[in-house]
Chains A and B, each alone.
Chain A
Amino acid sequence: MSNYIIRRLIQAFFVLIILSYLCFSILSLMPGDPVDVMITSNPKITKEDITRLKKLYGLDKPNYVRYFNWLTSALSGDLGYSRVYKIKVEKLLGERLINTFILSVCSLVMAVTIGIAIGVYAGMKKGSKFDYIVNFISYGLISMPSFWLAIVLIMIFSIWIPILPAGGTRTVGDNSIVGLTSILDRIRYLILPALSLASLQLGIFVRYARSAMIEALGNDYIRTAKAKGLGPSRILWNHAFRNALIPLITVVTLSLSGIFSGAIITETVFSYQGVGKLVYDSIIGNDFNVAMVSFMISVAMILTMNLLADILYGVVDPRISYK
């Protein structure tokens, strides 16, 4: 197993390098470099200004040289500066990554626990009224546009029953909010975006859990277990649920890979200070260093979670082994 993990980690490193070059090249292929973007917003820029700025930002060099410069400094721990904000990338991303992580984890925990519980129960009660209602609601949640749900939540809980803030990450400008009040304040700002994000994921988890459970319950080994006289809870958890876990692991680990990527729509609608909009703006605004670091985090998370999924398959299913 350890050999397998080491082999996969080495592979992941090379995948990261190749993808980083691809991402860098795609970013460079986008029409207009950072200086072009400046020209359109400032008609007073002269030809001399352009030559000076292109040299200053290293845009006068070929793409592969720029990539190599970025890679060597990134590997030495220097992630560079944001061209737009003129601050270090880690400083710009740091707190936002934590905010996004908190939001994603909260919504994922809500969605996974509630979604799997409801899905498993609906799978057990296939064809019942409860199953139909769950199906109807989960389809509704999956099809619901996230911005619409977010706005509805704001309307209900911030305007009609004004108990939660319409947006933000915390109360600003009030120095009296410290200690426990500060934690509660953060929770108040987290509830609506987390609820909005969780609702969308909830439908997906319900659907997966339900169909995995139905499939597992229809297998021969369940009939055998029943024939052996095992109790219903043992059949359910030890035999059916454990087998239903394999597809669920795939879905949950893939969802986990996005915990640092940000939910751009939810974060934007709720003015939540996460990485989602920053990443989008950095791509649009050609802020290379920020965009590249965000790409790398996303790629690394996907690779890590894929590896984790593979390991977990082995844990839940003894037939799977890695050599």
Chain B
Amino acid sequence: MSKIISVWLVGFMLLFVNQGLCAKKLSNKQLTIGISQEFENLNPLVKQMSATSYIYSLVGRSLVGMDADGKTSHQLAVTTPTLENSMAKFDGKGKNRTLKVDWEIKKNASWGDGKPVTGHDYKFTWKVAMTDTISISSRDAYENILDIVVNKANPKKFSIIYKSPKWNFNRRFAFYALPKHLEEAIYKKYKSKPGAYEKNSMYVSKPTHPGLYNGPYVINEVKLGSHVVVTQNKHFYGKAPKIKKIVLKLIPNTNTLEANLRSGNIDMISSLGLSFDQALALDKKVKKTDMGFDVKFKQSLTYEHIDLQLKNKILQDIQVRKALSIGIDKKGLVDALFEGKQYVAHHSFAPIDPWYTDNSKVVVKYKYSRRSAKKMLDKAGWKLSADGFRYKNGQKLAFTIMTTSGNKVRELVQVYLKDQWKKIGVDVQIKNEPARILFGETFRKSKYKAMIMYAWTSLPEESPKTTFHSEFIPTKSNSFTGNNSMNWKNKKVDAILEELDGEFDQNKRIKLAHQIINFYTDEIPVIPLYFRADVSVVPKKLSGYRLTGHSQLSTNHVENWSVE
């Protein structure tokens, strides 16, 4: 009896060992990607999570996209409509002026079930987005549309008519279509009941139906909170992807992503994986021992900065704000903490943004000088006391700086800043909160007392209206919308921001953006710190992979990936 048991045990052990040791060889047959962020269902209209956008880009395409160089590229559209090629035309005058934009979808563009993608899909999507019972978070992309007219003779051609013309009419990166032939019946059935359409949509009930997707891949298997498997879309309009199957595995603990990579459980780590400090550590290991991976870094548009609370009486003094900025050695910060792989920021536009400038006539730069910072504070009446801190009329020059607790990188930056400011006699106390409370309450309602450190990301040439315009100072009357949490009010900036949206001349737009930068850096309502870098770990054998640095993620170009 014991012999039989022993044989069985040995058999099981061998099977386990065999399965464990038979690690698959990386090839174009399958690529397994690790992500650390949760994803939701793939209905493009209601998706909100970054990981969902990452996955959706494998299976869905927009009319136009943005490539890794920040340039607009055609996806489903034959060409990009512009005023110059007469595919976009104004109609009417003054406030009644509308803009008609003609789009044409590629002839062979079809859904995964072979049905053509047409203007009817876009019109249907717009109709669904504008329905009050649908839980779409923002209608920004849809509410400026007056009508969508589909060409009767050729439904591949359609026109979007905008109520209020804006220069970025042809940058419809997030206008993903819903397949009318599959979703219309569901929409009609459930549209009157709040939240019912999206819960009964085929993206929920039959997420593996190929007809829901028009990208290079279709969903083969999806398990929320675990993994997604995509396989090639036979009806994809563009270049067929070389990798046959892609598996995306959710590994929520970033500490174990590396272990999963080294054990062969995953082949690469996406840009939604490692934190920056982990990437730096792995980069060193990878360079020391040939592990067959490359850690890729790409400068991004994610802007780390400190909002200064302008309701704070001490911070209302511009000399104090400038002294605080001059008192930080930003170059030293990025070199010490990020080994120079993240980049010093002088304002909110990143070097990869066409609106970026470092022209000293435009940008007021604050070169690090402890002596100048001390002089400025002396001039502002803040005198150094024996305890090493400054006082004015018995009040100590002291602030609190807040950020998201548990974010190791930001906590390190805080310590660095505290030390730097202490050297000029400013006492800074760290007070952190969980992201949920910090962003859900403290930041959103502008409740912080002095400083809050966080980041936001954007696309190139994105208007900072919701962050800089005084209309977007969060108050009860506007339901605390807007990100101007520093309470910055500048009528000239407001006027420029309003003009910016309606300016169709690229050069004039750049000039307007530069005017904003000038006010922003001169009045210093925010202390810019650095631009983050996107990181990803990819096998050396993988070619064609490029990090983008913006919100149109690397999976938008998945058809270029190949295992050599």
Complexed CA–CA distance, A41 and B466 (Å)? 13
Complexed CA–CA distance, A320 and B184 (Å)? 66
Q: A32-B440, A154-B263 are in contact. Are A278 and B195 (CB under 8 A)?
A: no
**Nearest-neighbor residue (CB-CB) of B141 within chain A:** A44
Contact partner of B20 (CB less than 8 A), chosen from A31, A40, A155, A188, is A188
Which chain B residues in 1-43 approach chain A with CB under 8 Å? Answer: 12, 15-17, 19-21, 23, 30, 32, 38, 40-41, 43
Contact partner of A50 (CB less than 8 A), chosen from B23, B38, B479, is B479
Q: Select the residue from B40, B41, B223, B224 with max chain A CB neighbours within 10 A.
A: B224
Determine whether the beta carbon of B224 is less than 8 Å from that of A92: yes
Q: A87-B204, A96-B225 are in contact. Are A166 and B263 (CB under 8 A)?
A: yes
Contact partner of A159 (CB less than 8 A), chosen from B12, B38, B41, B263, is B263
Determine whether the beta carbon of A271 is less than 8 Å from that of B481: no
Complexed CA–CA distance, A246 and B139 (Å)? 62
Complexed CA–CA distance, A173 and B444 (Å)? 42
Determine whether the beta carbon of A269 is less than 8 Å from that of B253: yes
Contact partner of B481 (CB less than 8 A), chosen from A47, A87, A96, A162, is A47
Complexed CA–CA distance, A55 and B194 (Å)? 9
Check B366 for interface membership: any CB of A closer than 8 A.
no
Q: List B contacts of A147 (CB < 8 A).
A: 253, 255
Complexed CA–CA distance, A75 and B204 (Å)? 25
Q: A162-B264, A184-B15, A278-B225 are in contact. Are A32 and B437 (CB under 8 A)?
A: yes
Determine whether the beta carbon of B221 is less than 8 Å from that of A47: no
Determine whether the beta carbon of B225 is less than 8 Å from that of A273: yes
Complexed CA–CA distance, A167 and B140 (Å)? 40
Q: List A contacts of B90 (CB < 8 A).
A: none
Determine whether the beta carbon of B16 is less than 8 Å from that of A39: no
Contact partner of B256 (CB less than 8 A), chosen from A96, A163, A271, is A271
Determine whether the beta carbon of B48 is less than 8 Å from that of A46: no
Check A74 for interface membership: any CB of B closer than 8 A.
no
Determine whether the beta carbon of B30 is less than 8 Å from that of A43: no
Check A227 for interface membership: any CB of B closer than 8 A.
no
User: Quick check: which of B94-102, B244-252, B515-523 contacts chain A, the rest being far away?
Assistant: B244-252
Q: A173-B247, A273-B225 are in contact. Are A151 and B262 (CB under 8 A)?
A: no
Determine whether the beta carbon of B265 is less than 8 Å from that of A158: yes
Q: List B contacts of A46 (CB < 8 A).
A: 138-140, 481
Q: A165-B265, A172-B221 are in contact. Are A31 and B250 (CB under 8 A)?
A: no
Q: List A contacts of B48 (CB < 8 A).
A: 38, 41-42
Check B400 for interface membership: any CB of A closer than 8 A.
no
Which chain B residues in 237-274 approach chain A with CB under 8 Å? Answer: 245, 247, 249-253, 255-256, 259-260, 262-265
Check A322 for interface membership: any CB of B closer than 8 A.
no
Chain A interface residue count, CB cutoff 8 Å, equals 60
Contact partner of A154 (CB less than 8 A), chosen from B21, B227, B256, B466, is B256
Contact partner of B444 (CB less than 8 A), chosen from A32, A96, A172, A184, is A32
Contact partner of B223 (CB less than 8 A), chosen from A42, A53, A81, A273, is A273
Q: How far is the CB of B278 from chain A (nearest CB, A)?
A: 13
Determine whether the beta carbon of B456 is less than 8 Å from that of A43: yes
Check B284 for interface membership: any CB of A closer than 8 A.
no
Q: A85-B224, A162-B21, A271-B256 are in contact. Are A44 and B466 (CB under 8 A)?
A: yes
Determine whether the beta carbon of B224 is less than 8 Å from that of A87: yes
User: Quick check: which of B115-123, B129-137, B354-362 contacts chain A, the rest being far away?
Assistant: B129-137
B contacts, CB < 8 Å to A:
12, 15-17, 19-21, 23, 30, 32, 38, 40-41, 43, 46, 48, 132-133, 135, 137-140, 194-195, 198-199, 201, 204, 220-221, 223-227, 229, 245, 247, 249-253, 255-256, 259-260, 262-265, 434, 436-437, 439-441, 443-444, 456, 466-467, 478-483
Sample (26) of A-B pairs whose CB atoms are under 8 Å apart: A31-B436, A31-B440, A31-B441, A32-B441, A37-B440, A46-B139, A46-B481, A47-B479, A56-B132, A56-B135, A85-B224, A86-B43, A86-B135, A88-B199, A150-B256, A154-B256, A159-B259, A162-B20, A165-B20, A168-B265, A172-B223, A173-B221, A188-B20, A270-B256, A271-B256, A271-B260
Complex A-B, nearest 3 residue pairs according to Cβ-Cβ distance, in ascending order: A32-B440, A31-B441, A163-B20
User: Given A42-B138, A271-B226, list of 20 further CB < 8 A pairs?
Assistant: A32-B436, A39-B480, A40-B440, A41-B48, A49-B481, A56-B132, A57-B135, A86-B135, A87-B204, A147-B253, A150-B256, A162-B263, A164-B20, A166-B263, A168-B227, A172-B229, A172-B247, A184-B12, A273-B226, A284-B436
